[in-house]
Structure 1
Amino acid sequence: MIHATGPLLTVNVDDRTATKTTIDSLLETHVGGRAAATALAHERIPFDADPFGPENRAYLSTGPLQQSQMSFTGRMNMTGLSPLTDGLVSSNAGGYLSRNFVSTGISVLEVTGASDELLAIHVSDDGVTFEAVPELEGATVPEVSEYVETTRDLGPEHCIAIGPAGENLVRFASVMTFDSRTFGRGGLGAILGSKNVKCVTFSGDAEPQVEIPDPPEMDVHREAAQSDDPMRRQGTAGGTEFINDNFSLPTRYFEEYEFEHAADIGGNAVEEKKYKKGACSACAYACKLPTRDEETGIETEGPEFETIYAFGSSQGVDDIVDVMKGNELCDSLGMDTVSAGVTVAAYLASEDEFGNAGLAQRVTEQIAYRDGIGDALAEGVARCHDELGVEDFTVKGMEFAAHDGRVLHGQGLSYAVANRGADHMYAGMLSLEYSGQLDPEGTIGKADTLVEQENFSAFRDTGIVCAFGSEYVTDERLETLFDASYDELLEVGSRTVQLERHFNNRRGIDHADDELPYEIPDLDAAIAEYYDARGLNDDGTVPESAIETAATAVPSTN
């Protein structure tokens, strides 16, 4: 099977050392991306680690397709022990970082330890340098990019960075690249903040070591360039009104299922503010949304559908410019728009202030600096809902994405059992239920489909392929690209899901945590079906025999 190439680079910020470890055997088994990072995290992060402690590790990893010029491959994976969910979490981001990362010659970056001063780390094919950057304390993400460009002559496409939220250990702080592309969910930015790492840059001249089959490489690129898909104009925002009218758009912190002003913040409203095309590295699909409001001068990228829900319908806000402002605040301060927006919505519910966009924006900024009420909200809904006097709409501590499991019951089941909680990208049951390929009603009989969707999503994040490329990077083309059968690809994904769950099991996360804050039909029976389909024990734990296979070829801790 085609896989990523290059060593693991371990950067210990305690003693400012950098060590390379050959991981060819691991990559042969786990391919790259999320699978390789998860296998390393499972072996090298102690099961009893504190997410904010020096023993936690952050992994940034690439897949083999980042050594190509194929559309839908301008992405990277990041993995660590989540401060939000207390389990393993992986997130991936687009932008232009991946090819610059590959140019350093490594396949995985591992950051461990904790520095006694704020650091910038510079990785190249010649080595690693550490730079104390006290002047960047409290800097926003664009300010970090400006500093890197001024001092290193490298643009934001060469950099990952955290904003004030990461420094202040906001549990849903994100890691940013290219200023507006986000390793968003689960608080990865707070992991770097706990290590006193403000940014990491990547540059070099290492040549790709993987030959990607062509076709289909250029066929995918050509089809992406010629596509007339409306998503190229409106991104995921284009689905707002359809979902609102036919399913559910959670509104006013889950009090309602439909937002009467959806058209004012949906795809057409976003497209009216779009002023140029935007893309990720080597991608001809160009579905990104650089937007500008001429009257206020606000510029941002997006909002995408999840942000429209989080800073729009969830907060009762009906002005697309206000949603854009929430989006820009999160990007600049370094926060996941979903968790931030929903947490602010919970606060608005507690104050009976739905629709107060000015208050929402002030509170969003307070969260990043842990100022006033922002200190409590920075902990996330699961930890502050009692203080607010609102319901805890989370799973495993993660705030819900927009796709409503109360209506899409297969998606609800997915939220309940997902290792990283209420994240819509973990399995993607929603796409099957929106399209009618799967009846949204009911949970029984959906377990086998859910397992396959989880496995496929894990492999997609391993390859790495953008989720929006499925129409072009088909199952048949994946088999050709990776020189493997579809079942072999799914097996890579299955091992990854098992390792995630086993790690979480060892931290005390089991059947009791596979739950929802609302009722859907036959959930307990459906979870039992899922456990059987996944090969789990009745208590939701992974048999040790399965882990012996899944953890093959992983080097132990340095």
Structure 2
Amino acid sequence: MLHASGPLLSIDVGRREYEVEEIDDVLEAYVGGRGLGTKLAHDRTPFDADPLGPENRLYLTSGPMQHSQMSFTGRMNITSVSPLTDGLASTNAGGFLSRNFTSTGYSAVEITGQSDELIAVHVTDDGVEFEAVPELEEARVSAVTEELNDRRGLESEHLATVGPAGENRVRFASVMTSDSRAFGRGGMGAVLGAKNVKCLSFRGESTPDVEIPEDVQSEVHEGAATSDSMLKQQGTAFATDVIHDNFSLPTRYFSEQSFEGVEAISGNAVTEKKYKKGTCSSCAFACKLPTRDEETGLETEGPEFETIFSFGSSAGVGDIVDVMKSNELCDELGMDTISCGVAVSAYLAAEDEFGNADLVHDLVEKVARREGIGDTLAEGVDRFHDELGVENWTVKGLEFAGHDGRVIHGQGLSYAVANRGADHMYSTLLEQEYFGELEQEGLDGKPPALVRAENWRAFQDSAIICSHSASSGEMMETHAERLFQSDVDELLAVGERVVEHERHFNNERGMDREDDTLPYEIPDFEAGLDEYYDLRGWTQNGTISDEQLGD
């Protein structure tokens, strides 16, 4: 089976030491990316590790596709114990970092320990350098890029950076790369911030050889270049109107399911602000959204649909420029727009301040610096909802995405069982319900579809191939066997191992069926949960045995 190539570089930032380990057996079984990060974290991180403590380990991992120049592969993965969910979580980001990462020759980089001062860690194919950067304390993401460019000739595409939110251990802080691309969900920025690491850089000339069929690369490139998908024009923002008009757009902190101001924050509104094409490394699909408001001079990348939901309809804000500003603040301060927007919306609900965009922007700044009420909101909805007197719109501590499980019930079940919480990308079962492959209502026949979707998505995250590849000739399903020299069942088995290791790690931290729940009711939920566990071969308490886990 095709897999990533290269050893593990383990860096102890407290001791300022590093070592290299061969991990060929892990790569062969887990491909790379999320699978590689999950297996390493499961086996090397103490089950009782404090997510913000020195014993927690953070893994940056690449996959086999990042050794190529193929479209849809300019992405990377981070895995660690999440300070938001307290379980094992993975998140990936696009941009231009992946090729610079693989150029160092490593398939995975492990960060452990805790520095006694703020540092940047520079990884090359010649070794690791630790640089004290006290002058970058509380610096915004683009300011870090500017400083390291001046000092070392490092561009944003070489960097994985923590903003003020990560330094202040905001539980949903992100790690940023290419200035505007986020390893967003789960608080990985807080993990690095707690280790006193402001920035990681990668540069080298030692990319390992991985054989990928040239004809497949050409077919994928041609499909990406010629696709007429709306994703190329509006990114995921194109879905705003469709979801609002045909399903549900959660509004005013989930108290309503439609938004009267949707037109002003729709994909068309984003298109009006888009001033050029944007892409990830070597990708001809070019679905990113560089936007500019001429009147104010504001520039950002996006917003995508999830940010339109979290800082638009959820906050009762109906001006695309206001949403753009929230998006840019989160990028510069280093925060997940979904969790931050939902947390801010919870405060607006408590104070009856929906639609107050100025307050929203002020709160975003306060959250990143843990000032005043921002210190409370920085803990995440699960930890502060009682104090504010609002409903707890989270699963396992992770704030909900904008795809409403009250309407598409299979996605509701997906949110409940997902090992990293209410994340729409864990299975993307929502696509089958949106496009009519599955009925919207009920759970009849959905647990088997969910198991397959989770396994496929876990494999895709291990190969680290963009989910938008399905918009270009069904790339993954069409070419998977040729790309990975393996049949689809074997690829699904990789994904199954990833899901099982995540579940086992979380079980060891005390999670079980009581954590696979929702803040609302959907028909036959308990029966659907039973069937899901049966299909997985887990106990009816949602746990997996050591014997089943295997290697």
Q: TM-score scaled to structure 2, two decimals? A: 0.99
Partner of 1:147: 147
Q: Tell me by how many angstroms 1:103 deviates.
A: 0.4
Partner of 1:3: 3
Matched residue SS, 2:192: helix
Name the CA distance, whole Å, in 1 between partners of 2:452 and 2:122: 39
Partner of 2:204: 204
Name the CA distance, whole Å, in 1 between partners of 2:159 and 2:515: 36
Deviations 1:372-393 (A, max 9, x none): 0000000000000111110001
Partner of 2:222: 222
Name the CA distance, whole Å, in 1 between partners of 2:45 and 2:207: 31
2:253, 2:314 within 8 Å by CA — same for their partners in 1? yes
The 5 A counterparts of 1:416-495 are 416-471=416-471, 472=473, 473-495=475-497
Partner of 1:388: 388
More off after superposition, 536-545 vs 346-355: 536-545
2:6, 2:208 within 8 Å by CA — same for their partners in 1? no
Q: Which amino acid aligns with 1:534?
A: R
Identity of paired residues, percent?
63
Aligned: 1:263 with 2:263 = yes
Matched residue SS, 1:312: helix
Partner of 1:414: 414
Partner of 1:25: 25
What is the RMSD computed on CA atoms of the aligned residues?
0.7
* Runs ≥4 residues deviating over 3 A: none
Q: Which amino acid aligns with 2:525?
A: L
Q: Tell me by how many angstroms 1:218 deviates.
A: 1.0
Partner of 1:536: 538
The 5 A counterparts of 1:84-483 are 84-471=84-471, 472=473, 473-483=475-485
Q: Tell me by how many angstroms 1:207 deviates.
A: 3.4
Name the CA distance, whole Å, in 1 between partners of 2:221 and 2:308: 29
Q: Which amino acid aligns with 1:537?
A: T
Name the CA distance, whole Å, in 2 between partners of 1:130 and 1:546: 41
Matched residue SS, 1:317: coil
Name the CA distance, whole Å, in 1 between partners of 2:228 and 2:470: 15
Partner of 2:503: 501
Q: Tell me by how many angstroms 1:214 deviates.
A: 2.1
Matched residue SS, 2:18: strand
Name the CA distance, whole Å, in 1 between partners of 2:313 and 2:347: 14
Aligned: 1:520 with 2:505 = no
Residue ranges of structure 2 left out of the alignment (5+ in a row): none
Q: Which amino acid aligns with 2:508?
A: R
Matched residue SS, 1:59: strand
Name the CA distance, whole Å, in 1 between partners of 2:470 and 2:67: 19
Name the CA distance, whole Å, in 1 between partners of 2:216 and 2:87: 37
Q: Which amino acid aligns with 1:118?
A: L
Name the CA distance, whole Å, in 2 between partners of 1:35 and 1:407: 31
More off after superposition, 467-476 vs 27-36: 467-476
Q: Which amino acid aligns with 1:41?
A: A
Aligned length: 549
Q: Which amino acid aligns with 1:487?
A: D
Q: Which amino acid aligns with 2:363?
A: V
2:138, 2:164 within 8 Å by CA — same for their partners in 1? yes
Partner of 1:555: none
Name the CA distance, whole Å, in 2 between partners of 1:432 and 1:67: 31
Matched residue SS, 2:314: helix
Q: Which amino acid aligns with 1:57?
A: R
Deviations 1:210-239 (A, max 9, x none): 011122111100111111111111000001
Q: Tell me by how many angstroms 1:296 deviates.
A: 0.8
The 5 A counterparts of 1:45-60 are 45-60=45-60
1:499, 1:547 within 8 Å by CA — same for their partners in 2? yes
Name the CA distance, whole Å, in 1 between partners of 2:530 and 2:308: 34
Name the CA distance, whole Å, in 1 between partners of 2:211 and 2:467: 22
Q: Tell me by how many angstroms 1:476 deviates.
A: 2.9
Matched residue SS, 2:220: helix
Name the CA distance, whole Å, in 2 between partners of 1:261 and 1:221: 38
Matched residue SS, 2:376: helix
Deviations 1:287-335 (A, max 9, x none): 0000000111110000000000000000000000000000000000000
Deviations 1:381-416 (A, max 9, x none): 000011111000100000000000000100000000
Q: Tell me by how many angstroms 1:474 deviates.
A: 3.1
Name the CA distance, whole Å, in 2 between partners of 1:302 and 1:401: 17
Q: TM-score scaled to structure 1, two decimals? A: 0.98
Deviations 1:438-484 (A, max 9, x none): 10100132111000000001011011100010243131301110000
Name the CA distance, whole Å, in 2 between partners of 1:395 and 1:474: 29
Name the CA distance, whole Å, in 1 between partners of 2:36 and 2:79: 10
1:444, 1:525 within 8 Å by CA — same for their partners in 2? no
Matched residue SS, 1:79: strand
Deviations 1:79-103 (A, max 9, x none): 0000000000100000000000010
Matched residue SS, 1:215: helix
Q: Which amino acid aligns with 2:403?
A: H
Residue ranges of structure 1 left out of the alignment (5+ in a row): 553-558
Deviations 1:45-98 (A, max 9, x none): 100110011000110000000011110000001000000000001000000000
